[in-house]
Amino acid sequence: MFIEYEDLRRVNAPFQEEFTGAFAGLLKSGWYILGSQVESFETAFAAYCGTEHCVGVASGLDALVLALRSLDLKPGDEVIVPANTYIASILAVLHNGLKPVLVEPDIQTYNIDASKIEAKISSRTKAILAVHLYGKLCNMEAILEIAGRHQLYVVEDCAQAHGASYKGKKAGNFGDFGAFSFYPTKNLGALGDAGAITFQGNERLSLLKQLRNYGSEKKYHNNMVGFNSRLDEIQAAFLAIKLKHLDRINQHKRELAQIYDQGLNDQFIMPVKQDDYEDVHHIYPIRHPERDKLRQYLLDHEIRTEVHYPIPPHRQKAMQGVIEKDDYSLTTEIHDTVLSLPVSACHSAEEIHRVVEMLNRF
């Protein structure tokens, strides 16, 4: 039997009855945009993350764009972002007319190397965008310390880190904002596009709610240049159902990760484990010098894997002349060698044992 990398039909099948009930209720209500479903999901998700507020938006990218837009930044201001990230983190900076300044990762954690941030801070630096890649939190203690010293905002890209924690504190609860994606494959995934911004305090609550809805608080009264970036009622209803199972899903992924941790032999570079970090294994990345050969070998043995990601941001066509030239060799090294193993809510321990066995025979 083929082991797929991910199978969203299997992931969502357990919720069919609840989804159908939610859909029937919504259809009957006749209210599809910004209503009680969005409000109750926002309340539940803020409580889950441990923040005071959550504002639902249309996608993870929009969550990042609007979080940055709500700050008093000027065109050309600089934002520190990891060089080793998904392109969305950098796009969010660019869509705000800001300048992304890339910092190399820690080769152990694959997250931004906090010790390399200060060398890239200039008088125009206004924020740090920390990305919790693959389901592991960044070194937020160090990042917040640097941000405090230089008076920088901190935005967390939590798209891969729903429920991940450091010393019991969850992603989205460290910086000024947490930006989440609920893209279907994420640990908490909708049945379409969806996202959210989490934060403490009331200062920017009204601003963010207006930004997502045409800059208006009251219909047809536009206070600012806003967006149409609303979380749909139907997606909020589906997400509220799945949120109740998020801890269980994360725990399941943790158990699968442990099978890899304990079973794989030493030809593979394994993801690092650190005290006080509770990872949620959005992705289980191993590294191998013959990554492409390894991937083909697994495919020949009916195991599908993925590469997150094949082309680093600084080598993307769209980023030529946008990202400053620098030495991004660690980022490149990771992109050349990383392989994502199956670690989904839909996989059984038995399947993962088979992946381990095949890998060890490579």
Ligand X SMILES: *Cc1c(COP(=O)(O)O)cnc(C)c1O
Q: Can you tell me the distance from the alpha carbon of 206 to that of 91, in angstroms, rounded to the nearest whole number?
A: 24
Nearest approach, Cβ of residue 94 and ligand X (Å): 13
Q: Which of 130, 127, 140, 131 is nearest to 98 (CA)?
A: 127
Q: What is the smallest separation between the CB atom of 151 and ligand X, expressed in angstroms?
A: 25
Residue 140 interacts with ligand X (CB under 6 A): yes or no: no
* Smallest distance, ligand X to C-beta of residue 305, A: 17
Q: In Å, what is the CA distance from 153 to each residue of 11, 145, 165, 240, 289? A: 36, 11, 20, 30, 38
Two structure tokens written together for 169: 């504190």
Q: Kindly indicate which of the ranges 57-65, 66-74, 99-107, 346-354 contains the residues binding ligand X, using the contact rule CB under 6 A.
A: 57-65
**Applying CB under 6 A, does 284 fall inside the site for ligand X?**
no
Residue choice 38, 46, 80, 131 for contact with ligand X (CB under 6 A)? 131
As a whole number of angstroms, the distance between CA 225 and CA 227 comes to 7
Decide: 69 and 211 in contact? Cβ < 8 Å.
yes
**Can residue 181 be called a binding residue for ligand X (CB under 6 A)?**
yes
| Closest separation in Å from C-beta 133 to ligand X | 6
Identify whether the C-beta of residue 144 lies closer than 8 Å to the C-beta of residue 127: no
* Distance in Å from the first CA to the final CA of the chain: 19
Query: Which residue among 3, 90, 101, 159 contacts ligand X (CB under 6 A)?
Result: 159
- List the one residue from 48, 86, 153, 214 that touches ligand X (CB under 6 A): 86
Q: Does 60 bind ligand X (CB under 6 A)?
A: yes
* # of chain residues touching ligand X (CB under 6 A): 15
CB of 243 to ligand X, least distance (A): 16
Query: Is residue 79 at the binding interface for ligand X, with CB under 6 A as the rule?
Result: no
In the chain the beta strands, taken as DSSP E runs, fall at: 53-57, 78-82, 99-103, 125-131, 153-157, 165-166, 169-170, 177-181, 195-199, 216-218, 221-222, 277-278, 284-287, 338-341
Cα dihedral sign, 51-55-56-59: negative
Q: Any contact of residue 195 with ligand X (CB under 6 A)?
A: yes
Stretch that binds ligand X, among 47-55, 152-160, 163-171, 196-204 (CB under 6 A): 152-160
> Judged by CB under 6 A, does residue 55 bind ligand X?
no
Establish if 138 lies at the interface with ligand X (CB under 6 A).
Answer: no
Residue 45 in the binding site for ligand X (CB under 6 A): no
Of these, 89, 165, 250, 337, which contacts ligand X (CB under 6 A)? 89
Number of other residues whose CB lies within 10 A of the CB of residue 218: 8
CA atoms of 139 and 105, how far apart (whole Å):
11
Q: Which residues bind ligand X (CB under 6 A)?
A: 59-61, 85-86, 88-89, 131, 157, 159-160, 181, 183, 193, 195
